[in-house]
């Protein structure tokens, strides 16, 4: 391990255990990565277009779709962001992070892959050896109104509109995750640390989703867990948050 943790100071979170938050819609909207939505989700790619022609399409057609959906979502409250969050004590042990859901109970051992080359990083490296805290969140923008509207669009054969709303919902869920990350670390003076989602190379074990769902008590905001460790409704995501400023996302494959 190359991470220097000799100068770690204790981190005292504002609470231990879980809470449910209801972020304002406009605060989440500010966290949307606009190009990720327009280019990645909706497929507005440059192709053989000139830079000027491409920019005009983004600024006019694509932006008009975005502004319309944003207004409709605000007015109709279709996709409403919610977040279930938790802080817990933990302690790293080589490639394992021991999490203490209950202060006096037995820990749950989470094991992560270590890089084979480069810095040979592993998620537990980002926590203080003598003991630390770890954050978790589950977020969703799904709900009965959203599911009903998506079903209506499909039944009506409004496939373009369905496609636009599906991309918007996915990006809005990511924006809610960004909002929850920032809010969890607000007591640290702003955005710091890093979040790791189950299924990514540095955190590949999808069963971690079940632990996060349980520890954040996400069922309180209507999120359920399937037998295959998937969150339901699908406009939901979860992550582990390492709060120290040295924590960063890395590729465990390289």
What is the reported pLDDT for 3? 46
The domains of the chain are located at 17-242
CA dist., res. 227 & res. 25, Å (int): 31
In this model, does residue 232 exceed pLDDT 80?
yes
How many residues appear in the chain?
Answer: 254
- CATH class of the structural domain 17-242: alpha beta
Burial class (CB in 10 A: 0-12, 13-18, 19+), 208: buried
What is the reported pLDDT for 251? 82
CB contact at 8 A, 81 and 28: yes
Q: Is the pTM of this model over 0.75?
A: yes
CA dist., res. 38 & res. 203, Å (int): 28
Between the CA of residue 68 and those of 60, 65, 73, 211, what are the distances in Å?
12, 5, 9, 37
CB contact at 8 A, 242 and 126: yes
How would residue 2 be classed by pLDDT, with cut points 50, 70 and 90?
very low
**For 70-114, how does the pLDDT look when each residue is reduced to its tens digit (9 = 90+)?**
999 999 999 999 999 999 999 999 999 999 998 788 999 999 999
**Token pair of 65 as six digits:** 């779709």
**For 156-198, how does the pLDDT look when each residue is reduced to its tens digit (9 = 90+)?**
999 999 999 999 999 999 999 999 999 999 998 866 799 999 9
In this model, does residue 252 exceed pLDDT 80?
no
As a whole number, the mean pLDDT across the chain is: 93
């Amino acid at each position: 391990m190359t991470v220097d943790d000799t100068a770690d100071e204790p981190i005292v979170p504002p609470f231990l255990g879980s809470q449910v938050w209801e972020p304002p819609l406009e605060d989440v909207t500010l966290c949307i990565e606009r190009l990720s939505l327009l280019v990645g989700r909706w497929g507005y790619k440059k192709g053989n277009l000139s830079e000027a022609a491409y920019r005009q399409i983004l600024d006019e057609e694509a932006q008009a779709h975005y502004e319309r959906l944003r207004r409709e979502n605000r007015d109709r409250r279709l996709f409403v962001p919610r977040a279930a969050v938790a802080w817990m004590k933990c302690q790293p042990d080589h490639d394992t992070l021991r999490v203490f859901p209950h202060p006096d109970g037995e820990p749950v051992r989470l094991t992560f892959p270590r890089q084979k080359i480069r810095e040979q990083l592993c998620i537990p490296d980002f926590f203080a050896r003598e003991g630390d805290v770890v954050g978790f969140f589950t977020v969703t923008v799904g709900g009965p109104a959203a599911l009903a509207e998506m079903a209506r669009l499909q039944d009506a054969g409004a496939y373009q509109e369905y496609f636009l709303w599906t991309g918007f919902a996915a990006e809005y869920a990511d924006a809610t995750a960004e909002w929850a990350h920032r809010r969890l670390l607000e007591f640290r003076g702003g955005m710091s640390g890093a979040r790791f989602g189950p299924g990514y190379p540095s955190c590949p074990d999808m069963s971690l989703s079940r632990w996060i769902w349980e520890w954040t008590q996400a069922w309180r905001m209507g999120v359920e867990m399937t037998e295959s460790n998937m969150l339901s409704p699908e406009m939901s995501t979860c992550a582990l948050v390492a709060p120290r400023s040295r924590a960063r996302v890395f590729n465990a494959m390289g």
